[in-house]
Structure 1
Amino acid sequence: MTTTISNSILKASIKHAGAELFSIKDNQNNEYIWEGNPAFWGKHSPVLFPIVGTLKNNTYTINEKEYHLPRHGFARDMDFELIEKMENKAIFSLKSSEETLQKYPFEFELQLIYTLNEDALELEYKVINNGKEKMPFSIGAHPAIALPDNFEDYAFQFEKEENLKYYLLENDLISSKTKVLETKNNLVPLNYELFKNDALIFKTLESKSLTILNNSKPYVKVSYNDFPSLGIWTKENAPFICIEPWLGYSDTDENTGDLYKKEGILILDENKDFSAKFSITIL
């Protein structure tokens, strides 16, 4: 099943499976979200919950009991319920169940709230702790922006001029190795060589938005005020770029496994909720 919301400028379509955005089109029928061709990558914009990235040995502990979670968690692979629908807004919900409690022993509700505001799609993540103990979690976005022209015709521009230190992945875990992304006037020309070692992982950034340019012309802007970390990723020869606002990231090799002590984890008190928003603006 799918749901579509629209306004006078944009139309966005969301699958109920994973509450995953799979299309943003303007009123000229131009598509801005990657089509999901599995020859490159079979997803479009999955939600990452209750972890972002990879756990050491795909394992963590709560009160000394072991649990297992795959990379980026399970929410992206589960069916959400559409609980509210308006012309320009849709709210999807995933609640804990016997299935999720086997992997993640917390009672929760995760809502994905999609809203079209003029030339932007806003996505709000709302996490509700329905249990009686503190709930550790991470959440992140993974939208793939379609790049229909030559990949090297594109560049991205950070909001601020800053030292763009990123961490390298080794065996899907965050290593201690870092590099600095070189910029000129805050611009980084795109080329596949940037991603030869997988994603670029920025633990902290002063910039709270990133603009993709096509032949120096603004194309799409991703704004992420509520997210301290960012991943940027693509695959060799793939015609898309993922701009990924994150609250959390992969384990390091030194991680103890205790989810409450994981670097970058959020802790939500019992009967409390948390929300964070990001937006994709068509320029």
Structure 2
Amino acid sequence: MTTTISNSKLSASIKHAGAELFSIKDNQNKEYIWEGNPDFWGKHSPVLFPIVGTLKNNTYIINGKEYQLPRHGFARDMEFALLDKTENSAVFSLKSSEETLEKYPFEFELQLIYTLNENSLILKYNVVNKGNKQMPFSIGAHPAIALPGNFDDYALQFEKEEELKYYLLENDLISSKTKILETSNNVVPLNYELFKNDALIFKTLNSKSLTILKNSKPYTKVDYQNFPSLGIWTKENAPFICIEPWLGYSDTDENTGDLHQKEGILILDESKNFTAEFSITIL
């Protein structure tokens, strides 16, 4: 099942499976989200919950007991319920169940709230701890922006001038090795060589927005005020770029496995809720 919302400038379509955005079109019917061709990557914009990235040995520990979670968690592979819909907004919900409690022993509700406002799509995450104990979690976004034509025609413009230090992945875990992403006037020309070692992982950034340029002109913009970390990723020869606002990231080799002690983890008190949002603007 899918749900479509629209306003005078944009339409957006969301699958109930994973509450995954799979289309943003302007009023000229131009598509801005990656089509999901499995020859490159069969997703469009999955939600990452209750972890972001990869756990060491895909395993974590709560109160001395081991649990397993796949890369980026399980929410992206589960069916969400449509709670509410208006012409320009839709609210999806995933609640803990017997199935989730086997992998993640916490009672929760995860809501994804999509809203169109002028030429922007806003995605708000609402995480509710419905249990009687603290709940450790991470959450993140993974939208793939379609880049038709020549990949080298595109560039990334960071909001602020800063040292862009990113961490290298080794066996899907964050290593201690870092590199500096070189810029000219905050702009990084795109080329596939940047991603030969997988994603660029920024634990912290002063920039809270990133503009994709096409032939030096603004194309799309991702704003992520509530997110301290960012991943940027594509696959060789793939006509898309993923701009990924994160609250959390993969384990390091030194990780003990205790989820409460995981670097970048959020801790939500019982009966409390947490919200964060980001937006994609068509320019």
Measured against aligned partners, the alpha-carbon deviations of 1:169-219 in whole angstroms (never above 9, x if no partner) come to: 000000000000000000000000000000000000000000000000100
**1:24 equivalenced with 2:24 (yes/no):** yes
Residue by residue, what CA displacement relative to the aligned partner does 1:25-81 show, whole Å, maximum 9, x if unpaired? Answer: 000000000000000000000000000000000000000100000000000000000
Partner residue in 2 for 1:222: 222
Alignment-derived partner of residue 172 in structure 1? 172
Cross-structure match for 2:207:
207
Alignment of 1:8-87 (within 5 A): 8-87=8-87
Query: 1:186-201 to 2 correspondence within 5 Å?
Result: 186-201=186-201
Helix, strand or coil: the match of 2:76?
Answer: helix
User: Take 1:229 and 1:124, find their aligned partners in 2: how far apart are those partners?
Assistant: 17
Whether 1:101 aligns to 2:97 is no
Task: Give, in whole Å, the separation in 1 of the partners of 2:149 and 2:50.
Answer: 35
| Counterpart residue number, 1:4 | 4
Alignment partners' CA distance in 2, 1:86 and 1:203: 36
Aligned letter for 1:27?
A: N
Q: Secondary structure at the match of 1:57?
A: helix
Aligned to 2:161: 161
If the length of structure 1 is used for normalisation, what is the TM-score? 1.00
Matched letter for residue 132 of structure 1: N
Query: Which residue identity is paired with 1:146?
Result: A
Q: CA separation in 2, counterparts of 1:247 and 1:69?
A: 17
Q: Does 1:254 align with 2:217?
A: no
Query: Percent identity among equivalent residues?
Result: 84
Q: Which residue of 2 aligns with 1:130?
A: 130
- Which amino acid counterpart does residue 183 of structure 1 have in structure 2? T
1:275 counterpart = 2:275: yes
Pairs aligned (count): 283
Ranges in structure 1 where 5+ consecutive residues have no aligned partner: none
Give, in whole Å, the separation in 1 of the partners of 2:15 and 2:251.
30
The offset of 1:149, in angstroms, is: 1.5
- Counterpart residue type for residue 38 of structure 1: P
**Structure 2 residue matching 1:100: 3-state secondary structure:** helix
* Distance apart, 1:118 and its partner CA: 0.2
- Shift, 1:115, TM fit: 0.2
- Aligned-partner SS, 2:90: strand
Q: CA deviation at 1:82?
A: 0.1
SS in 1 for 2:161: coil
What secondary structure does 1:12 align onto? strand
Alignment of 1:236-251 (within 5 A): 236-251=236-251
1:147 corresponds in structure 2 to 147
State how far apart, in whole Å, the 2-side matches of 1:184 and 1:209 are: 17
When normalised by structure 2's length, the TM-score is 1.00
User: How far 1:104 sits from its partner (Å)?
Assistant: 0.0
4+ residue segments displaced more than 4 Å: none
Structure 1: which amino acid aligns with 2:74? F
